[in-house]
Amino acid sequence: MKSIAVRGGEVVDATGRRRADVLVEDGRIAAVVPQEEGRDLAADLTLDAGGCVVAPGLVDLHTHLRQPGAEEAETIETGARAAALGGFTCVLAMPNTTPAIDSAGVAREVLELGRAACCDVRTSAAITVGRAGTQLTPMAELAALGVRLFTDDGTGVQDGRLMRRALEYASALGVVLAQHCEDAVLSGGGAMNEGAWSSRLGLPGQPPEAEEVMVMRDIALARMTGGRVHFQHLSTRRSLELVAAAKADGLRVTCEVTPHHFTLTEAACATYDPVFKVNPPLRTDDDVAAVRAGVAAGVVDCIATDHAPHAPEAKEQPFDQAPPGMLGLETALALALTHLDLPITEVLALMSWRPAAIIGADDAHGGPVAEGRPANLCVIDPTATWTVDPDRLASRSCNTPYTGMRLTGRVRHTVVDGEAVVVDAEAQR
Amino acid sequence: MSGARHLLGIAELDVADIERLLRLTDSFVEVGRRRMPKVPALQGRTVTWLFYESSTRTRLSFEQAAKRLSADTLNFSVPTSSVNKGESLRDTVATIEAMGVDAIVVRHASSGVPHQVARWVSGSVINAGDGWHEHPTQALLDCYTIRDHLGGLDGLHVAIVGDINHSRVARSDVWAFTKLGAEVTLVAPPTLLPPSVEGWPVRVGHDLDAVLPTVDVVYLLRMQRERMAEALLPSLREYTACYGLTRRRVDLLRDKAIVMHPGPMNRGVEIAADVADLPRSAVIDQVRNGVAVRMAVLYDLLGSGADLSRDLPGRDAR
């Protein structure tokens, strides 16, 4: 395996910031050398990190890789490449594939395909068989394969009693249950946020309460069972207030938000372009402000992409018929750096070591950049500007809502397991 | 012809646009009264229909309008087309576009489809009704009909009664009536109002008996049976009792007030059978004016933009 020297950058991790060069050998960090020592690191490959931040690789808790079943939209290979270009060294595959990741067989297939991919592909699994909301998946068997997070993402677990049992059962396994909070009856198939815009546009809306009642219920169930709940892609002011209160009560809850929920509002739907259709839907200005405030105040544990590729023909349907979801892996970091008024250390905490800890991936990802650690790194140029061009994204799909948007902050190199998979913003395989 | 103009909704029009279309409508009403009600204004132009939803009056009146303007028409009927073989909207539109058309008249059950089609084609797109969103030519013919009966809309009070939330006619009418200076009151049970009317220049009421004595126009919307299943209403009977225009309620109207309905009517539900046929009912005038309004819209988007009298020869020879 080629050795790599990452030279001229500033190392930033959970322990602080320092100017240092990093030597990678045999998949591990072999040395971290302060630049003031003036020592030249010899390696097979030298990566220029001048003007850059050298950080632990990013970790995404919410990636739809679409394989098996919807390979026309994304594959594990293409999704992992998009992830690496976005600075992610680890992604967590969502289980709403066809078939769903609800058995050891499907989970093994995903993990096997992931081994050939250019980042660390881990998998979640469904809480219920077929994500149908009636019968628990073999959680112990799946946990033994390394599954650390269970979710029926795409839908929420509607049955409160079943969710209670799932939390109780999972507590013996040390795994997290993650919830896509949406009361399906209350949301009623709404295509966008319900309110002034949906009323004006004549589109069926889903009220914020459809999300909030499930957040409330699951907080009650976490209190009841002592179970560990992670709330996925929260999008409303009240959802974040509920989670803040639950945390203040000492409950074992965490939450994520997506870049689109802190950068876009429901007003974008006025174009009737289904690229802006996503679930939970884009919300109001006030909700966007609340999501940003929740991030700044530490209520939000991590930023997750909810990367949801869809083939062009799927997004060329009428707005109310098109599937929800938007790309996220290649824009998430730049959106956070451009639109959140946070120091880069805090952005990295939200996108690297905190999400890594939630799924127990902190053995390999998000840890300090230190000798002996697994070499999963991203090198970020925080001042580079670029324009989002859907045709230049590595994802097999092009449903980004950020076409033409100018962003600041770009991933220059990504090292996964000691291999330079992205060099100078180009995927190496 | 990139940068083609479209008619996607009334909300995007300004007062001058609406007034221009109504003035044009006057000219085409005159054409309609001729013994030979046909002019060569759109000779060589091709108009096609893309109707994904059933329609009687809108479809027929667009067809009549195009023919009276001497445009060529291409008929596209969804039930017999490749759409039934699973062809996507985008592919269907590309196919029609490849045949060379100047305007596509679109009706679809989903809001926003005409906006999507307008992004894909080089010709003009006319919205003939999209989901719950807009039905701009209906609003224009409603304005024309009100003007014809009552002299203008400025200062009038119009009550729009019924299933506002699921009505593209209501949305277009609210914008058209208020832009032309009318006051609009929406009268409906709360379950049939949009979730928010923030930013709508309207008042909202739930007591039809209280509103009727103050209006110049009462505009009734079609009540659909599906709404019972969605728990939006207990029963049609209760709807009629609270919001139906019964004979008794007609007596609450001022002498000159008129009754309108976009059709098709559910006689005995939102409108009593005999009320629909009273002299104050303008329902048939609405249909009649539909042809001239749609001629005006087609001419406005596809015409030469030259002197109207040159495009409508025969006006003086009549």
Decide if B195 and A205 are in contact by the 8 Å CB cutoff.
yes
pTM: 0.95
Residue A88 — φ and ψ, nearest 5°? -85, 135
Contact between B56 and B174 (Cβ < 8 Å): no
Contact residues for B221 (Cβ-Cβ < 8 A; gap 6+): B160, B161, B162, B163, B164, B167, B169, B170, B261, B262, B270
Residue tagged active-site, from A306, A362, A381, A417: A306
Give the Cα separation of A241 and A261 in Å (integer).
16
Structure tokens at A68: 């098996």
Q: What is the mean pLDDT of each run of 10 residues along chain B (318 residues)?
A: 79 96 96 94 94 87 96 80 76 90 96 97 97 98 98 98 97 98 98 96 98 98 82 92 96 97 93 94 95 97 77 58
Straight-line distance from the first to the last Cα atom of chain A, in angstroms, rounded to the nearest whole number: 15
Contact between A322 and A206 (Cβ < 8 Å): no
> Looking at chain A, which residue has its C-alpha nearest residue B52?
A318
- pLDDT class for A286, splitting at 50, 70, 90? very high
Give the Cα separation of A168 and B245 in Å (integer).
58
Provide the pLDDT for residue B76: 74
Decide if A318 and B89 are in contact by the 8 Å CB cutoff.
yes
Decide if B111 and A203 are in contact by the 8 Å CB cutoff.
yes
Encode pLDDT of A25-41 as tens digits: 999 999 999 999 989 89
In this complex, the residue of A198, A273, A316 whose CB is nearest that of residue B88 is A316
Residues of B in contact with A313 (CB under 8 A): 88, 90
CB-side neighbour CA atoms (13 Å) of A216: 9
**What's the complex ipTM?**
0.94
Give the Cα separation of A288 and A235 in Å (integer).
8
Decide if A272 and B111 are in contact by the 8 Å CB cutoff.
yes
What share of residues in chain B are helix, strand, coil (percent, to 5)? 40, 15, 40
Provide the pLDDT for residue A201: 98
Collapse the DSSP code of A110 into the 3-class scheme (helix H, G, I; strand E, B; otherwise coil) and give the result. Answer: helix
- pLDDT class for A388, splitting at 50, 70, 90? very high
The one-letter code for the residue type at A23 is: L
Q: Around Cβ A17, how many Cβ atoms within 10 Å?
A: 14
Provide the pLDDT for residue B285: 95
Task: Tell me, yes or no, if A306 is annotated catalytic.
Answer: yes
Does the pLDDT of residue A418 top 50, yes or no? yes
Helix (H) or strand (E) holding A422: strand A419-423
